[in-house]
């Protein structure tokens, strides 16, 4: 019996994971979300900004991480648009160009934000650090036109926005090391306020920067997105997906406990023999 538990066929585990995903999706269960301090700090910062402020959001991720990061982007953009805060979107990752555009369009549609007036999407430019540093001199020098090839000089929202001096916050939605580059090069050199929304796997890397306030706020994985949705009182994709994540986490938790209980019983039996 113990041996069978220890050597359970991995296909059975795959089926259990599939069920843990499918059942909560069909039942549409939801759980109360506890708000963490780093997410609240970001929310409070946006709440305290006066309308007409400008934030820059960098969609530095590809399709593999969009399940976690896209809901963060949508929730954050909704909050900004509701508060009449202007948003500049861009990406340092090739695949992020289309994803960022879609996210901005989706948030704009639900809040009535107008392209060129309430938000501008600049798209992608190659050269991560050079792009960051170049924007510190003039944004226009790096992005001469927006994603739809409209010159920045003809976009009303960009009037008076030259570089980071006119930007109140940069939010980096990242699945790799771009947040650390934003902190190292832009926070340090330009004293620019930076916040981040990152995937669950890299969240542990961000805490030293949070303590030193080089990051003013942080959304951690899908949970961070669900927390932000709760804060703006608009439960959406992340809140729904959190129920699925909850069941899968619970399943893995149970499997690890079961595996270890079986391991210890077998170990004791072997010692007695």
Partner 1 sequence: MRRQVPLALCFVFGVVMVLIEFSPHPYSKFLYNEVINWSLIITPFALVLGVATLVQTHWIRIRRRAEYWQYSFVVFIGMIVMVTIGIPFGPSHKAFAWLFKYIQTPMDATMFSLLAFFIASASYRAFRARTLEATLLLVAALIVMIGNAPIGDLIWNKIMPFGENLPSTARQWILENPNLSSRRGVILGVSLGVISQSIRIILGIERSYLGGGD
Binding residues for partner 1, per CB under 8 A? 8, 10, 13-14, 16-18, 21, 31-34, 36-37, 62-67, 95, 97-99, 101-102, 123-127, 130-131, 133-134, 137, 141-142, 147-149, 200, 203-205, 207-208, 211, 221, 223, 226, 242-243, 245-253, 255-260, 263-264
Distance CA 6, CA 162 (A): 62
Shortest distance in whole angstroms from residue 47 CB to partner 1: 22
Distance CA 44, CA 41 (A): 5
Q: Which is nearer to partner 1, 156 or 259 (CB)?
A: 259
Q: Which is nearer to partner 1, 52 or 144 (CB)?
A: 144
Shortest distance in whole angstroms from residue 111 CB to partner 1: 21
Within 10 A of 208 (CB to CB), how many other CB atoms are there?
11
Distance CA 237, CA 233 (A): 13
* Residue (of 35, 21, 17, 39) closest to 203 by Cα position: 39
Residue 16 burial by Cβ neighbours in a 10 Å radius (0-12, 13-18, 19+): middle
Report residue 269 as tokens. Answer: 């039996």
Q: Which is nearer to partner 1, 49 or 102 (CB)?
A: 102
Shortest distance in whole angstroms from residue 240 CB to partner 1: 12
Shortest distance in whole angstroms from residue 118 CB to partner 1: 19
Q: Which is nearer to partner 1, 52 or 258 (CB)?
A: 258
Which contiguous run of DSSP H or E holds residue 170? strand 169-174
């Amino acid at each position: 019996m113990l041996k069978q538990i220890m050597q359970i066929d991995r296909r059975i585990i795959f089926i259990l994971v599939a069920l843990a995903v499918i059942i909560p999706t069909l039942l549409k269960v939801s759980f109360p979300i506890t708000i963490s301090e780093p997410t609240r700090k970001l929310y409070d910062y946006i709440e305290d900004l006066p309308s007409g402020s400008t934030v820059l959001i960098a969609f530095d991720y590809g399709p593999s991480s969009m399940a976690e990061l896209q809901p963060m982007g949508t929730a954050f953009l909704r909050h900004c648009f509701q508060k009449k805060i202007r948003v500049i979107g861009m990406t340092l990752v090739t695949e992020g160009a289309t994803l960022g555009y879609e996210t901005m369009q989706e948030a704009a549609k639900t809040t009535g934000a107008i392209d060129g007036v309430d938000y501008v999407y600049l798209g992608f430019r190659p050269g991560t650090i050079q792009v960051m540093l170049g924007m510190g001199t003039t944004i226009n020098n790096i992005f001469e036109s927006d994603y739809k090839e409209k010159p920045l000089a003809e976009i009303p929202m960009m009037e008076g926005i030259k570089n980071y001096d006119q930007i109140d916050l940069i939010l980096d939605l990242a699945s790799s090391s771009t947040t650390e580059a934003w902190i190292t090069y832009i926070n340090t050199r330009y004293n620019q306020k930076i916040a981040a929304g990152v995937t669950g796997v890299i969240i542990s890397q961000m805490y030293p920067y949070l303590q030193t306030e080089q990051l003013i706020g942080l959304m951690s994985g899908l949970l961070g997105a669900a927390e932000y949705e709760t804060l703006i009182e608009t439960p959406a994709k992340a809140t729904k997906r959190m129920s699925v994540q909850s069941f899968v986490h619970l399943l893995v938790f149970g499997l690890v406990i079961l595996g270890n209980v079986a391991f210890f019983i077998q170990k004791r039996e072997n010692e007695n023999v």
